Structure 1
Amino acid sequence: MVNINTLDPGASPLDYYGFELRRCREAAGLTQRQLGEIVNYTGSLIGQIETARKVPTLEFSERVDAALGTGGLLSRLVQLVLRSQLPAWFQEVAELEARATAISSFQEHLVLGLLQTERYARAVLGALHQNKLDDRTAARLARQRVFEKKDPPIFWAVLSEAALYQEVGGPETMREQLAHLLTFEGNPLINVQILPFSAGAHAGLQGPFGVYRFTADPSIVYTEGYGSGHPTANPDTVKDCSLRYDHLRAAALSLKDSAELIRRVMEERYAEQGDSVA
């Protein structure tokens, strides 16, 4: 067990968060139990977070900030904490997402992480093992905060039709996930196109990839291997993948037709019990 008196705030973002939480709580003259009663969490949880044994959530951070009058300190720190919980090889992607002014992503069999619901994300991340599933799910969902920035990136997603049929987490989870995709209809900053099976051979057959563009820095292409990521700013690669993405968008259904297909699959394949007509 970590001793709070020897907790090193420079050891990790999680340790720094715990150190600051304890400092702010003590400055307010509250015990762990008293703070827990105010923010509707147990004093034990407060202690676990202060000793870097538990990862805080955004909701927890916002409640504590309000209770202690910290000016949003913990809500800002929790972004770093959650990003640090991502696999080491993926943390650079989260950084790219946070800085990009435009993101273009192609995915084959899954809904992209930036568009996943909590239950869908849990099903994906828990497919192989359940350890620290709450923390890993929270870290993935925290990436979606990029859409809440003052100047959010323009996001374009091309998903293979297969992603609509790959049943992740069961019918209810899929219905919720597809309904979530439909919430972006009419949002000019978040665009979802479906690449239909009828497109046949297409420019994305080599696998998923993303193109990240920035105000002043060179564009970066990101691809994934098994347990590893491969970002590159090589101009030839960026040019090639940008061209591939243009062709994928051209081969995909329009935004309107994509939404209609998502809605049709949601209603026909993942209808709630009792929805179908006899």
Structure 2
Amino acid sequence: MVNIQELDPSASPLDYYGWELRRLREEHGLTQQQLGDIIFCTGSLVGQIETTRKVPTRAFSERVDAALGTGGVFSRLIGLVLRSRLPAWFQPVAELEARATYISTFQTQVVYGLLQTPEYARALLAVDYPDKAEEMMGARLERQRILERGEPPVLWVVMSEAVLMQQVGSREVMREQLAHLLTFRDNPWVQIQVLPFSTGEHTGLMGSFTLFRFDDDPDIFYIDGYDQGHMTANPPVIKERSVGYARLQAMALSTEDSAELIARVMEEHYGDPS
């Protein structure tokens, strides 16, 4: 007799997703293999998602919605599932990103998460989370959907030139990442400036930080830690860091000159070595 794992749909978004997938599949009289054949995957994968051993993707969710005629249930649910896979300490930050109307960030070493390509994100995450890199990468890409909204937040990024020079993944991964940054040149809601090495000492040498602004709530200052982050709405901190960020913007290259530098680094450092 087959041992069917019982899920508690209230335990987590992932458990609810698996429970609902099994319920609707059985309601349609389909086996796991039959559903897999319809949505172009294996029956084993369907079973692993139903029992929470695998985290679904957005593409899987959209295909299931189409196959089972759910009206978009799983396409809506997948956002909650992927957000729940973010580290617990980072989930409040993702919520701030989703609510903010203006995001100002300074990055010293890596491309800001909302602008990372899948391959770049996967290479970064695999360093510390080799077994979870794929699902964490999916969660990171899910965060980026805020930039596709009808009214996206303004995202202003100042990054050190070191971000362009620090190779993450292969040369091809870096080339694709820098090319991706260039796709935002004509996006009015995403502004990218590079702070060149020639600037010398500056107010961002203490590390990366982000300022979130909202329509009806106080501004929030956030700084990353190794396995936790720190955020505050303390007015003196907000004032000091806002001035610091304005100084970084003033010292950085213009958005046009920044794009030219990104394109030059892309060709000179990550182009065809032949």
Fold shared by both chains (TM-score > 0.5)? yes
The answer (yes or no) to whether the contact 2:5–2:51 under 8 Å persists in 1 is no
Asked if 1:225 is matched to 2:243, the reply is no
Whole-Å Cα distance in 1 between the matches of residues 167 and 150 of structure 2?
35
Where in structure 1 are there 5+ consecutive unaligned residues? none
Provide, for residues 87-140 of structure 1, a one-character-per-residue CA deviation record: whole Å limited to 9, x for no partner. 111111111111111111110011111111111111111123411221111111
Aligned partner of 1:194: which letter?
V
Across the two proteins, how many residue pairs are aligned to each other?
Answer: 272
Provide, for residues 5-39 of structure 1, a one-character-per-residue CA deviation record: whole Å limited to 9, x for no partner. 52001111110111111122222222211111111
Name the counterpart of 1:243. Answer: 243
Whole-Å Cα distance in 1 between the matches of residues 150 and 10 of structure 2?
30
Whole-Å Cα distance in 2 between the matches of residues 30 and 17 of structure 1?
17
Provide, for residues 54-92 of structure 1, a one-character-per-residue CA deviation record: whole Å limited to 9, x for no partner. 100011001111111111111111111111111111111
- Structure 1 SS opposite 2:127: coil
Where in structure 2 are there 5+ consecutive unaligned residues? none
Asked if 1:32 is matched to 2:32, the reply is yes
| 1:1-278 superposed matches below 5 A | 4=4, 6-274=6-274
TM-score scaled by length of structure 2: 0.96
TM-score scaled by length of structure 1: 0.94
Distance change in 2, residues 1:273/1:229 (3 Å) = same
Distance change in 2, residues 1:173/1:246 (3 Å) = same
Provide, for residues 156-202 of structure 1, a one-character-per-residue CA deviation record: whole Å limited to 9, x for no partner. 11110000000111211111110010010110111111011111111
Whole-Å Cα distance in 2 between the matches of residues 50 and 144 of structure 1?
26
The answer (yes or no) to whether the contact 2:113–2:140 under 8 Å persists in 1 is yes
Whole-Å Cα distance in 1 between the matches of residues 127 and 197 of structure 2?
26
Provide, for residues 207-226 of structure 1, a one-character-per-residue CA deviation record: whole Å limited to 9, x for no partner. 11101111211111111122
Q: Percent identity?
A: 62
